[in-house]
Amino acid sequence: MWVTRSGTSEPGVTLLQRLPTIRSKLGSVIVFAVGTTLLLVYLILGVGFEVFTIGGHWWELLLAGVLGAGIALVIARWVARGMTQPLRDMARAARRMETGDYSQRVVTDSRDEVGKLAEAFNRMSKELEGLELLRRELVANVSHELKTPISALRAHLENLLDGVEQPDPETLQIMLVQSERLGRLVDQLLDLSRLESGDVPLERERVELAPLVSQVFSEIQVARPEPGVTLADDLPGDLPPVFADRERVHQVLFNLLDNAVRFTPTGGRVTVTASPHNGSVDVAVADTGPGISAEDLPRVFERFYRVDESRSRDDGGTGIGLAIARSVVEAHGGRIWADSEPGRGSTFTFELPVAPAVWGASGSLPETSTRRTE
């Protein structure tokens, strides 16, 4: 309710709003309703129908009103206690959540609005608990990943100062590799954060996949010159172009191919295929590696999750390449998934929208390049 005070509008406070609990509010309403009903009954019978004289029965009216109001108040408080128990439980749980305890849940069998509110509270509490767990895991993983190269650099620097090691090219190369790994991890974390928050613009254009795959092949061979893994593509000649950010698609392909090559043993094969499907192009990167178990498969796109901890860390993997690939694909409105069986290799597939048929003279849409919007 709104009332006007001194020429300004501000929320007014009713008598019910002054009462501290719902039980007292409900009891007051019921007592008022019972008293008003008894008064109307006596007035109608005594004045309207002249059944009795009110002046001679005022004490009966008063006694009936007091008894009716007292009984109504007791019943109201008993009923309200059960109705408001979930609300009191939610209040206690909320106070516990203020201290960081997100395991609180409210138990109720009510199916009314209060019960629905309790269900929504439990869902919110569960989501907050999950987010808190992810936050702790992220902090722990980032701390561990940053500590590894920093510790290696510190050890080499201390050895150089103590004269244990000499500043020869081999030692300096090891330190350079660790510093590059540290910088790469920081850059990828910042990139992933921007992608997930939607702060990265997507410069969409017509992208032919065949030359892009060949370019990524060349870069993988330079980045991982060790022989033994064959890179191949099987792209149809009539494959339609996709409507995407060229640099971001390059990033997805590089991350998937780099991941496949790292986990494919000598003599293995990594193949890139693509096919149009319902207005999109499905791009698949398949390898002949050891495969991924069923329990690990749903988590491969999580940040810092590794199927093979020691091997991935030794060869320089940061554990967020697949998370970045997922964010990029989802930013384009597509999806990415993995299929694998232990001992039979893995296949990572992502989809991108087919480029529109109408294009400007420059090879892009007549309007300015599109950007991701939330």
Dig out the tokens for 237 from the structure.
């000649």
Same domain, 223 and 335: yes
Decide if 34 is inside a domain. Answer: yes
Decide if 342 is inside a domain. Answer: yes
Cβ pair 359, 351 in contact under 8 A:
no
Same domain, 238 and 255: yes
Residue where a domain stops, chosen among 148, 174, 197? 197
CA distance 366 to 254: 30
- Structurally, the chain folds into a number of domains equal to 3
Range 145-154 contact pairs with CB under 8 angstroms and sequence separation of 24 or more: 145/185, 145/304, 145/318, 145/319, 146/182, 146/185, 148/313, 149/178, 149/179, 149/181, 149/182, 149/185, 150/182, 152/178, 153/178, 153/179, 153/182
Same domain, 35 and 95: yes
Same domain, 333 and 210: yes
Cβ pair 239, 351 in contact under 8 A:
no
Same domain, 236 and 142: no
Decide if 372 is inside a domain. Answer: no
Dig out the tokens for 36 from the structure.
């008003």
Decide if 271 is inside a domain. Answer: yes
- 286 DSSP β-pair partners: 271, 347
pLDDT of residue 272: 95
pLDDT of residue 56: 60
pLDDT of residue 277: 84
Longest dimension (CA), the chain: 118
CA distance 21 to 49: 41
Q: What is the CATH number of the domain that holds 178?
A: 1.10.287.130
Decide if 6 is inside a domain. Answer: no
Residue where a domain stops, chosen among 144, 171, 197? 197
pTM for this model (two decimals) = 0.58
Q: pLDDT tens string for the chain (374 positions)?
A: 344 444 444 455 566 566 666 666 666 777 777 777 767 776 676 665 555 555 566 666 667 667 766 777 777 667 666 667 777 788 888 888 888 888 888 887 777 777 788 888 888 888 888 778 777 776 776 776 677 678 878 888 888 888 888 888 888 887 887 787 777 777 777 777 777 667 778 889 999 999 999 999 988 887 777 668 889 998 998 899 999 999 899 989 998 998 888 888 888 999 999 999 888 999 999 999 888 888 888 888 887 776 665 444 445 455 778 888 898 899 889 999 999 888 889 999 999 999 887 444 444 544 434 334 33
pLDDT of residue 353: 92
Same domain, 224 and 97: no
pLDDT of residue 144: 66
What CA–CA distances, in Å, run from 117 to 23, 79, 124?
A: 18, 19, 10
Dig out the tokens for 213 from the structure.
């795959």
Dig out the tokens for 257 from the structure.
């191919």
Same domain, 323 and 238: yes
Same domain, 217 and 336: yes
Please tell me whether residue 339 adopts helix, strand or coil conformation: strand
Domain holding 238, by residue range, is 204-353
Task: Work out the end-to-end distance of the chain between its first and last CA atoms, rounded to an integer number of angstroms.
Answer: 37
Please tell me whether residue 276 adopts helix, strand or coil conformation: strand
Same domain, 211 and 265: yes
Per DSSP (E only), the strands in 162-241 are 204-207, 230-234
Same domain, 162 and 43: no
Decide if 181 is inside a domain. Answer: yes
Dig out the tokens for 67 from the structure.
């008894």
Same domain, 281 and 347: yes
Decide if 333 is inside a domain. Answer: yes
Decide if 366 is inside a domain. Answer: no
Same domain, 51 and 154: no
Strand order in the sheet with 280-287: 230-234, 269-277, 280-287, 346-353, 336-340
Q: What is the CATH number of the domain that holds 307?
A: 3.30.565.10
Strands 346-353, 336-340: pairing kind: antiparallel
- Please name which of 319, 312, 325 lies closest in space to residue 352, comparing C-alpha atoms: 325
pLDDT of residue 192: 73
DSSP secondary structure letter of residue 252: H
pLDDT of residue 348: 94
CA distance 9 to 16: 20
